[in-house]
Structure 1
């Protein structure tokens, strides 16, 4: 007997059992049906070698859409479009993309480690295959989902669609430094099992520091686009207390970047600690003296340094995974050392003035140039002048479209020469003032 004949014979046996079972259900009392069902299921396991599981699309009392069902649907979308004849279509990503899934009573085949499997309206074989399906399905969902930019009003988040075009290819930075950051981010995003094995929450802190206009906000956008994460732009001054801060943290999702921009300006966290130490010293000197509370303290945000530290790496910071926390600052020296130590801000990234490597990226972005006879002059001037990538980009921006590369480069050289002269004059004035101060001090 050929394999085809054996399979047809097996199907005939199963069909006969199903027919007999239907008759029993219709004509026999419920007790007898229950009694016979036990033996029928036992016999069926010998002749029907498959296991079947059903995933409902909606679950729970509120009939929320099942994450497992969504993952399976995403996983099967590519196979369904080639194998199934009847498909369901769903428009996603701001009406710009279509996801196809199989219609009811359609069947899609799959292969997992040499084992043949079939899907029919959400039914499947169990085993390690399920973990594979969920993992791949969630990855497809992350790829297709519409990412969001959140901001807080008090203790509540609101959002808009995140559509910033920044990426590491167009970021004005040295290639080696850029690669180092990309590798670090990619390693983090794939390190769930590693973080679990060492007993740490799956999160990482980045401190971006440097003068204004060096690309700190653009770096955050590029990080989000690389990892396909949402961004939570946390405005600390709008948070009234540590309790509100903790509530905001709990409401953030996984696969997200929580960013506090210009943290040195957000709250006087270091100043809070100094004021507290000063009050404690005064109380030790004269414990009986009663001092009035400052009215401004009651009106302003009551978020403390301790509350922010707990937000970054306290117990509540582990209520979710795959989060990146980013601080940006123009003045790193103003920050409390406890806030930026390793373990909280794991990676410190300096974004400084524009150098020649960064300029070449900007020239390629704005002028589509990889070389030019004026590049040597620009390289020399950049070594002698402090100018931000934002200022360089502004001079490369064409005044009309299409732009004239020659004119833009001449404009940039003039700006660099002028900036060099101004910085030279300022240095001379600072030197004179310093000498004058030293002379007065000696007298």
Structure 2
């Protein structure tokens, strides 16, 4: 019996009807809880095919002391996007005004994946004492492969979350008082400056940022070398060149607390050691205007006390610390203070030159070009200069009129800036060509060295000519006599 050929239009119509029916069914399931129920049944069926192992992380130990691992795992789980997919979750306000935290509720399960393996966490409430525990459910086949790396990953992520959400504090040392415990007084560190907002050479700024990033990731490297995990920086330059703002930017970049030591309130070398012992890890220790204390002897701390503070045994009692010292000039500082090991990185902050001026004009006035720029550049080329703080203040005072601001800068350079830049030309060049030298990571400038040598040669030639002229004059005077 020969079947009649199928009608292609009828077959196409049936396929279209089936597609429409499937679409409507999926649409219906997505709008109801049936799809969720089907997923749950499928998960139960899948779980029945595997053998699981469970690990409990209790909130308290047998002595009712808080389990630090519980706090770290809880912070990690609450940062996962899967928490929002749980049946119940708690909403809490965060540290910031517009921040909302989603926290896993009790007896709820959250799913996580690591190295292509799926794990489950349950926030379980223990009935006898009402304590809470986090229970990890992991396939036995995946246990040896991912358990320890997974837990280590949780600790790493927790440290990153802690650093991002940490409120930076500024600690200042007070004079010793018997009725008060501790020497440090803290306030919230709310300085608005960042490394990016500081006016300085872009290459130098990137080198410092790269050095800080490398330091943060070098714990194992330092330990392998048998060295303490710390780094020291010297910020050197005239007043108003941005050293203090750069310190604030470094603290924000690292998310470190700042310990600002006032040497005038330190009674002796032992007192300085006690202050160092009371600082914490992951902190920045700052001593400003160190050259003034060393030259004027305005502190009871001796030179050997400062040297021991910089690289003595006590300085090795903490880890992940950054020491920052600021100076106006290194000319009258004992070379032993500046040697590698005590100072790892030297950063020069010069007076303002024309490229730095253009950066300030762009930031303060929104000017990238102006008809007065050539005149300003010509004045800078004569050797006149001001500090970035002085030029910035002029621009702030005249920010409503950029032309008036530039004219005021020109006037200030002609009156107050004459000759200031000529003695600092080697410093102004240091912002343009910077390189790392030696293992200490110090930032030095070849152009500044060449300019100093050329200046010395020129000065020597002038002296030779003047001495020859004086000798000729003396000979003529003797002949006349």
Shift of residue 195 of structure 1? 1.0
2:156 maps to 135
Deviations 1:169-228 (A, max 9, x none): 221111111111111111111111111111111111101111111111011011112222
Aligned residue in 1 for 2:110: 108
Is 1:249 aligned with 2:273? no
Residue aligning to 2:355 = 357
Q: Counterparts of 1:217 and 1:10 in 2: how far apart (Å)?
A: 59
Q: Are 2:153 and 1:152 equivalent residues in the alignment?
A: no
Pair 1:339–1:229, CA change in 2 (3 A): same
Equivalent residue for 2:52? 49
Please, which of 408, 416, 430 is the counterpart of residue 419 of structure 1?
A: 416
Could you state the TM-score of these two structures normalised by the residue count of structure 1?
0.73
Question: Paired residue for 1:99?
Answer: 101
CA contact (8 A) 1:93 1:145 kept: no
Residue 96 of structure 1 deviates from its aligned partner by 5.1
Of residues 415-424 and 343-352 in structure 1, the stretch that sits farther from structure 2 once superposed is 415-424
2:335 and 2:63 map into 1 onto residues whose CA distance is 49
Pick closer, same or farther for the CA change 1:301–1:101 going to 2, 3 Å: same
- 2:404 is aligned to 407
By how many angstroms is 1:168 displaced?
Answer: 2.4
Maintained 8 Å contact 1:94/1:146 = no
Aligned to 1:211: 238
Q: CA deviation at 1:241?
A: 2.9
Per the TM alignment, residue 87 of structure 1 is displaced from its structure 2 partner at its CA by 2.8
Q: For the Cα contact (< 8 Å) 1:234–1:260, is it kept in 2?
A: yes
1:221 matched to 2:248? The reply is yes
Give the CA deviation at 1:78: 3.0
Deviation at 1:238, TM superposition (A): 1.2
Deviation digits for residues 5-42 of structure 1, max 9, x if unmatched? 99659769xxxxxxxxxxxxxxxxxxxxxxxxxxxxxx
The equivalent residue for 1:73 is 74
Cα displacement (A) at 1:331: 2.4
Q: 1:181 to 1:261 in 2, by over 3 A?
A: same
Deviations 1:259-316 (CA, angstroms, capped at 9, x unpaired): 00011223559x6xxxxxxxxxxxxxxxxxxxxxxxxxxxx85433333222222222
CA distance in 1, matches of 2:186, 2:78: 29
1:237–1:267: 8 Å Cα contact kept in structure 2?
no
Matches within 5 A, 1:302-381: 302-381=300-379
Contact 1:74–1:141 (Cα < 8 Å) also in 2? no
The separation in 1 between residues aligned to 2:186 and 2:197, in whole angstroms, is 26
- Structure 2 counterpart of 1:28: none
RMSD, aligned CA = 3.2
SS at match of 1:110: strand
Larger Rg: 2
In structure 2, distance between residues paired with 1:255 and 1:323: 5
Query: What's the secondary structure of 2:331's corresponding residue?
Result: helix
TM-score when normalising by structure 2: 0.68
Provide the rounded CA distance (Å) in 2 between the counterparts of 1:363 and 1:6.
63
Report which structure shows greater RCO (CA 8 Å, sep ≥6): 1
Distance change in 2, residues 1:88/1:5 (3 Å):
closer
Q: CA deviation at 1:89?
A: 4.1
- C-alpha contact 1:71 1:136 (8 A) present in aligned 2: no
Q: How far apart in 2 are the matches of 1:216 and 1:161?
A: 20
Structure 1's 104 and 333: CA in aligned 2 closer, same or farther, altered over 3 A? same
Q: Per-residue deviation at 1:98?
A: 3.5
Contact 2:385 2:419 in 1 (8 A): no
Unaligned runs of 5+ in 1: 13-46, 272-299
Q: Helix, strand or coil for the counterpart of 1:120?
A: strand
| 1:120 and 2:89 correspond | no
**SS state at 1:258 partner:** strand
Equivalent position to 1:84, from 83, 86, 96: 86
**Secondary structure at the counterpart of residue 127 of structure 1:** helix
Per the alignment, do residues 356 and 268 of structure 1 end up closer, same or farther by CA in structure 2, a change over 3 Å counting? closer
Residue aligning to 2:26: none
Does residue 230 of the first structure (1) align with residue 231 of the second (2)? no
Which stretches of structure 1, 4 residues or more, deviate above 6 A after TM superposition? none
Unpaired runs of 5+ residues, structure 2, are: 1-40, 124-133, 139-146, 176-181, 424-458, 475-481
